[in-house]
């Protein structure tokens, strides 16, 4: 019996130590834009500024400065092409105050012509009523000739 109690205690202890670590946001977004490679730094800044000014700020007039005319969209809720993207953007509600950063940003990563934004998300726990958990959402962009040419994320189809 003593061995069973010890085994159960070890099992409980190992479960607690292997619990999910909460996803946390980065405390200084501007440091995420740094890179020793000038091209990667420029790509990070392009995507960051696009996200803040165009996407979050809903400034459709700035979209041509950031998005290629032949823009390819992999989110099933947003059309492909710069003009259709601008139409989608105009259908969204504008914020009362222009954003100065990206809420819930965890990380910005760049490699070659790809930039990835990682965000913290809090969701309702599927089996524990009233509880939440954190997870990470990713948006990935391909840069071509100084503009966003392609976008991927893991968005499900909206109703």
Our separate counts of H helices and E strands in the chain read 4, 5
- Which structural domain range is residue 32 located in? 23-153
pLDDT of amino acid 19: 56
**Side-chain half-sphere of 75: how many Cα atoms within 13 Å?**
19
16 within some domain: no
Global pTM reads 0.84
Question: For 41-88, what is each residue's pLDDT tens digit?
Answer: 999 999 999 999 999 999 999 999 999 999 999 999 999 999 999 999
| DSSP E strand stretches across 2-154 | 67-73, 105-111, 114-124, 132-144, 147-153
Q: How many domains does the chain have?
A: 1
- Tokens for 115? 């930039």
Torsion of CA 94, 95, 98, 101, to 10 degrees: -110
96 within some domain: yes
């Amino acid at each position: 019996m003593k061995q069973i109690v010890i085994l159960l205690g070890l099992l409980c202890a190992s479960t607690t130590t292997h619990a999910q670590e909460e996803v946390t946001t980065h405390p200084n977004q501007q440091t995420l834009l740094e890179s020793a490679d000038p091209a990667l730094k420029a790509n990070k800044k392009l995507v960051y500024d696009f996200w803040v000014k165009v996407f979050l700020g809903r400034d459709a007039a700035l979209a041509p400065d950031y998005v290629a005319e032949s823009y390819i969209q992999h989110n099933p809720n947003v059309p492909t092409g710069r003009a259709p993207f601008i139409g989608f953007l105009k259908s969204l509600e504008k914020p009362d105050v222009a954003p100065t950063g990206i809420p819930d940003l965890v990380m910005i990563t760049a490699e070659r012509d790809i930039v990835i934004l990682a965000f913290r998300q809090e969701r309702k726990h599927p089996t524990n009523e009233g509880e939440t958990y954190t997870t990470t959402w990713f948006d990935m962009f391909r840069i071509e000739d100084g503009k966003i040419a392609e976008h991927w994320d893991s968005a499900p189809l909206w109703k």
